[in-house]
Amino acid sequence: MADLVEVHFVPAAQTAWVRAGVTIVAAGEAAGVDIVTGCTQGMCGTDPVRIRSGGVDLSPPEPHEIGTLERMGLGVGHRLACSARVLRGRIEIETGTF
Ligand code: FES
């Protein structure tokens, strides 16, 4: 279990334990939470999520993800589910419309 990351989704109240390095989209699939995607490249902005806790346990955002979030007017605490990868610990993610 040492290499598994606990990812909890709200408001669905679903949790998955996934391998370190998978995307939030993949963690959502494992938890039974469907996150709608588009480009899957961090460019279209279809899949923003809010990180409620454990943001430091995600992969750091690449410049194109930061640019997309800025274009969408989403600040600190938001990530694109196709781009952010879970690395360790326990992460709580809010899905919805932002
Ligand atoms: S699916 Fe396009 S930014 Fe994530």
What's the predicted TM-score (pTM) here? Answer: 0.95
| pLDDT computed for residue 90 by the predictor | 98
**Tens digit of pLDDT for each residue in 26-82?**
999 999 999 999 999 999 999 999 999 999 999 999 999 999 999 999 988 999 999
Q: How far is the CA of 87 from the centre of ligand 1 (A)?
A: 19
| pLDDT computed for residue 2 by the predictor | 60
| pLDDT computed for residue 1 by the predictor | 54
Q: Which two tokens stand for residue 18?
A: 């996934």
Q: How far is the CA of 45 from the centre of ligand 1 (A)?
A: 5
What is the 8-class DSSP label of residue 55?
G
Pocket probe for ligand 1: among 34, 82, 98, the residue whose CB has the most ligand atoms within 8 Å is 82
One DSSP character per residue, 2-39 reads TTEEEEEEETTTEEEEEETT-BHHHHHHHHT-----SS
43 Cβ closer than 6 Å to some ligand 1 atom: yes
